[in-house]
Amino acid sequence: MSHRVIQIIFLPALVFILSACTPATFQKLKTPKPIKSEITVVIPKDKENKTVWIRNDNSNRNNKNIQVVNQEIAETFYAAAIYGKRNGYEYFALTNGNVNNLNGFPINTLDNLIGLYQFEEDDAKKYYKPRQLVSQGHGKSIFDANTIRLQLQYFKKPIPGLFFYNIDEVIQQTDKYMSN
């Protein structure tokens, strides 16, 4: 067989086999309210793994306009809430390494999370202190370079004693941050 025939026959087969081995599916999320960010939902193919990632790669945290940053945070959380609502859930927990509601991270509203983010950013300008929300190169936080990455688990009911985000409350809170 010639080299060209091998490429025509085996290359598509190899691509098909490798795509079947991908551990997750990626989908762009369309939302009822228009959002400026391009949100990607990463869903593991393994049914036992309940973790879903919501990723906003268009974030511009270096932008000095705090309203723009707040809008991007709100859009990312809005997308997380819409995904959960569409799949029959009422709550979600952040499970990022440093910001894990299942391990006792006490913030469970968008307003409080944005407030903590602003505090950490302002504090970082004055002092170098460990921060939970903003990554310092370890990839365990929500904000890393120009990406907002939420690692989530969804729930139909809250677990007593843990801090969960209420999906309807998140959707309601996003209104004040998202411009129309």
pLDDT digits 0-9 by tens, 43-91: 887 766 678 888 887 766 565 677 888 888 999 999 999 999 999 999 9
Task: Decide if 72 is inside a domain.
Answer: yes
Q: What distance in Å separates the CA atoms of residue 5 and residue 81, rounded to the nearest whole number?
A: 49
Q: What distance in Å separates the CA atoms of residue 56 and residue 75, rounded to the nearest whole number?
A: 9
Instruction: Locate 133 and state its tokens.
Output: 């929300």
Task: Report the pLDDT value the prediction gives residue 55, as an integer from 0 to 100.
Answer: 83
pLDDT category of residue 13 using cuts at 50, 70 and 90: very low
Mean per-residue pLDDT, 19-48: 69
Residue 128 has pLDDT above 70, yes or no: no
Task: Report the pLDDT value the prediction gives residue 8, as an integer from 0 to 100.
Answer: 45
Q: What distance in Å separates the CA atoms of residue 52 and residue 58, rounded to the nearest whole number?
A: 19
- Quick one: which H or E segment has residue 41? strand 39-44
Task: Decide if 156 is inside a domain.
Answer: yes
Task: Decide if 96 is inside a domain.
Answer: yes
Q: Do the beta carbons of residue 79 and residue 41 sit within 8 Å?
A: yes
Alpha helices in the chain (DSSP H): 3-20, 66-86, 110-126, 167-174
Task: Decide if 15 is inside a domain.
Answer: no
144-167 in b/e burial notation, b at 16+ Cβ within 10 A? beebbbbbbbbbeeeeeebbbbbb
**Domain housing 44:** 24-174
Task: Report the pLDDT value the prediction gives residue 45, as an integer from 0 to 100.
Answer: 79
Task: Decide if 67 is inside a domain.
Answer: yes
Q: Do the beta carbons of residue 71 and residue 178 sit within 8 Å?
A: yes
pLDDT category of residue 144 using cuts at 50, 70 and 90: confident
Task: Report the pLDDT value the prediction gives residue 12, as an integer from 0 to 100.
Answer: 45
**What does the DSSP 8-state code read for residue 117?**
H
Task: Decide if 17 is inside a domain.
Answer: no
Task: Decide if 3 is inside a domain.
Answer: no
Q: Is residue 43 classed exposed, middle or buried when 0-12, 13-18 and 19+ CB atoms within 10 A define those classes?
A: middle
Task: Decide if 49 is inside a domain.
Answer: yes
Mean per-residue pLDDT, 144-151: 82
What's the number of domains the chain is made of?
1
Query: Of the candidates 80, 94, 104, 109, which has an alpha carbon nearest to the alpha carbon of residue 140?
Result: 94
CA dihedral angle for residue 92, residue 96, residue 102, residue 105, rounded to 10 degrees: -100
